[in-house]
Structure 1
């Protein structure tokens, strides 16, 4: 039980750190005319895709980055673009309002909408890369990036992302259903673990009568997590594991955190490469950028301060997500550009609305919604699995039963996420005058 709580806390901290990054990126992009112009340029191919002759382009260039005949449905239609905006909006609302990664729901949502798993992963990575490259300079300006730390970490991340992409592509070539089943299983395990932890955490907080939201609210005494506006910096005091790892002197040693410790700290390159490989593997297989793992690994295992971790994590996300998206998915036709741009638009708006709602909603309520959202993703994927195993004749189940279970999972998922989104938006609209007053 102690191990479960510890790793649940690690994953939650990573999800919260990733959410803070999403909010920073959204502020940076929407508050800068040049970045908005860049966003407009990225949307030009989507607009062009809506022109009538796009059908002919799809016929003559079927293998172009997920063209019409390559990995259907990867062609442009107004309906698909709107769906992608709604998916991005839902993920952004979860991220902004709950303060934990709403990106966990993107791949399940895409797969539920009929997109193949490998295409959902590649598209999600491309969307993260586009977002990261547009809004990540902020931490570099603040000096929170440890370049040596990031570069050594990236060696492992690139190896891991390559392995993850290779695994997904090999499984897809063997059998597309096997690929979907593999990605579905990975998401089921991750969402089940995180959802159960979030639910238990919510029940404990409610019983204790404490109110805390990751992006606002009261923080219980003894909680070491930073809130969105600062707080105690984790990693300044080393735990047992970071001490042991930093005590292993396998050269070359990488130095960091000179601002927190006289002379800085150091860690062997071996641990950085291994950590990077794990993060890259997760990014390559799941398409979530790997950021939700970087924070707990850096802070709780390697002993890096959270200030250095946040900046360095954002630095590595650009390269890890970009490398995986382009080299492992895009050039093989496994991205859906229209979807990626729609999700980018929706998430930028959703994060802003969600963050504002935290100012007028109790933290305990928000934590309950997070547990529901993650568990809805778990139910969605676990109910989709029997049908896929049945198609591969691994599980003795009729196609009708598999389709029924899949439909139940899809409805449960979209009812919860849709209901949450409607609640957040209605709360925002009903409190808009109060929020304007706070801004002033």
Structure 2
């Protein structure tokens, strides 16, 4: 179908020739464009120059000219536009020195003199996001790679401490007087606790070990002397052993020495005889009287620890160089003050005995691990047996 078309200027409002400087006869045409002078092409549009020294071409020739083949060996360098200023991304404009295998350490943008520019003081690597990512990977990365921790004494910026800052940190590290006092008190408590533990161990364990050894040695020595006839009955010096006490029910075998001194007799695991001063009591061989004995209930061999378990009729045997004296338990006084010396009388008060006889009295401390009161056990002699007749029945298993 053929139809008449209006001129181009009717469709677009202007002649196509005017956009390129006007047609040659634009001045002769009438209408709204009449009288408009056509400008030369070089005045209407700036010439495009590809390279220095090449002739310029008008824009319409540049647009209609065929595209030149792109040489892949020549890198493309975008040209900045003077009207719009430099591009926003530095990666598209900065020149870089290619390394052996692509960008590497030190391959940053060139400075004014052509040398690679140094990293900025703020720690941001110039050059674009790709270069910044590579630089971050070289420094250890944001997530991967262990970064070296700065010393505790150095500030976060890495600069050395000043004298004032060093003094402040030294004062901050120095413990306060309250902390020093609490540490000293804690050390005193710990030392005191250790000393108390050592003392308890010494009292409850080591004294028994040593006393058992000393008492056993004294018992064997007495038996050897009696067998060899080296000791004779009579008056004995303080601390001198002269008899052996047997309590079969409690499995007690302990030497009896003269006196009740802690250091000379009782602390050595021996049983002491009240034979001195106002508390002097009779010997076993006396025709009448009260044979009084004392010993530790706890520590130092503790020979009287369980005498509270004795019952009426239990046997107590005193062995001397010539005879065995057998007593039977008659009564007990669980608690009495230490000042009650009447329990050692020839006829002891509270024992139940009413007339003179041959008695034995065992005294020790009570309650256990204290010396506040005294525990008393009384017995009455029931047999006197010469050694030549052998052991009494109480000592025969």
TM-score, normalisation: structure 1:
0.21
TM-score, normalisation: structure 2:
0.23
Task: Pick the structure with more strand per residue.
Answer: 2
**Taking CA–CA contacts closer than 8 Å with sequence separation of 6 or more, which of the two structures ends up with the larger relative contact order?**
1
Computing the radius of gyration from Cα coordinates, the structure with the larger value is 2
Task: Pick the structure with more helix per residue.
Answer: 1
